[in-house]
Amino acid sequence: GDTAQKFNNTFGEAFKLPEPMIVTNVATVPGTDGQKMSKSYGNTIPLFATDEEIDKAVMGIVTDSGSDVPTNVYAIHALLRNKNDLEVIYAENKGEYKKLKELLAEDLKAFIRPMRERRQALEEDKDAVLEVLKAGGKVAHERVEKKMEEVRKLVGLKLY
């Protein structure tokens, strides 16, 4: 963004400035230990995890024994369900941490399963993946050439 802004300020509007797409209530995804989710913290639930890996990660979520609602479980669950659903689920299962973790695991599996299946399908058809990449590369090359012509014109460079 800074480079595009500097260029635009110096030579004229050539580049669209990026807009942040961070949803404020999920700006930080909570990990299984309540900290920010990070591979370096070892507190992640992998996007392409098997059902067994999801179960293991969710059952390992650190919980606070003092309340009826396990905040770490709820914080992750809030990324998958709307607030009204969660209020009902957590009211009906008040203090039942194991049950709430099982419900979270089911929701995570339902969320992750289509991505995992799509990834497996793509891994099995590498030729189709390469074709998509080639087609995308061609489109990108055409767009870059067009943008570079515009940039050269603004800067005052002519190659021919």
- DSSP result, the chain: -HHHHHHHHHH-S-SPPP-----GGGSS-B-TTSSB--GGGT----TT--HHHHHHHHHT----TTSSS-HHHHHHHTTTS-HHHHHHHHHHTTT-HHHHHHHHHHHHHHHHHHHHHHHHHHHH-HHHHHHHHHHHHHHHHHHHHHHHHHHHHHHT----
- Per-domain residue ranges of the chain: 26-124
Domain 26-124 CATH assignment equals 1.10.240.10: yes
**Is the model's pTM score more than 0.95?**
no
Of the listed ranges 63-67, 70-74, 122-126, 134-138, the least confidently predicted one is 63-67
Confidence of residue 28 (pLDDT cuts 50, 70, 90): confident
Percent of the chain exceeding pLDDT 70 equals 96
For all residues of the chain together, what is the average pLDDT?
Answer: 92
* Structure confidence at residue 25 as a pLDDT band (50, 70, 90): low
